[in-house]
Amino acid sequence: MRIRPAGTHALLLDCTAPADIPEAVLVEAWRAELWRRREQGDLSAVEIVPAARTVLLDGLPDPAATADLLFRWTPAVTAAAAARAAATARDGTPAPDGIPAGAGGDTARAGDGGDTARGDETAHGDTARGGDTARGDTITGGGIAADGGGHGGEILVPVEFDGPDLPLVAEHWGVDVPAVLRRLTGTRFLVAFCGFAPGFPYLTGLPADLALPRLPTPRPRVPAGSVALAGPYAGIYPSASPGGWLLVGRTDLPLFDVDGDPPARLGPGTRVRLVAT
């Protein structure tokens, strides 16, 4: 891990991971630990913003002292990330019938939603700063908290799986469309970070070998609520915008309210399941 200054009152953690720890797992381990430390008073930071490979700490009264703390916490965070990666490798998420192991070999690194700008859904931290708070409480009017409140809640997102790109996803994965739906509804997703547009959640949970390329040419307009796939991520468009992700469905669940607290309904650290309607 590298720690770099980002202005006078911010630090950027570059979460370069050991070979046995996926970067997304290490980023999530840091996000969870930093939020925990802030809540118990060990860390003073106005914002903690995860991205694909980094975590930004902004509003630090003493960046040098914070950097010392980060170095002290690194062994424990790395150990926690390694344990989670090992547990995932050991237990995994059971694949629904019809998804063969190793399916989806047609992956495209250019579409993996990494830190490189592409002009559409680029994986930066939430530009609206809506990604600093997890929305784990009970949600009414669409989403449902499946197992209680707090950061541990799981949000059930109702989805009408009628996206125009479902056949293309099935082709890439080497399965039929019903098997794609079983995979998506059987996956327990986690919001890794928000980016591209205010409240746009990048959801991890799909196996790396099911990563998908973006469309060669982005659509000029993707409707609000569209559920989509690109690279290793699933995502949901909070508002209408151009976009190049593969569309698999749509939801009526509002994802961003500038007057809400927090504004982003699906913030980093929130567990999500897609439920067919």
**Ordered per-residue pLDDT tens for the chain, 277 residues:** 899 999 999 999 999 877 888 899 999 999 999 999 999 999 999 999 999 999 999 999 999 999 999 999 999 999 999 998 888 777 765 444 444 444 443 333 333 333 333 334 444 444 333 344 333 333 333 454 444 333 447 999 999 999 999 999 999 999 999 999 999 999 999 999 999 999 999 999 999 999 999 999 999 999 999 999 999 999 999 999 999 999 999 999 999 998 888 888 999 999 999 999 9
Q: 226-236: b or e for each residue (b if 16 or more CB lie within 10 Å)?
A: bbbbbbbbbbb
* pLDDT score, position 224: 96
User: Which one, of 26, 35, 82, lies nearest residue 57 by Cα?
Assistant: 35
The pLDDT value recorded for residue 259 is 87
What Å distances lie between residue 12 and 1, 57, 186, CA to CA?
10, 6, 34
Alpha-helical (H) ranges within 152-251 are 166-173, 177-186
All domains of the chain, ordered by start, with CATH?
A: 2-91 (3.30.1360.40), 109-276 (2.40.100.10)
Number of H-type helices and E-type strands within the chain: 4, 14
Output the pTM of the full model: 0.79
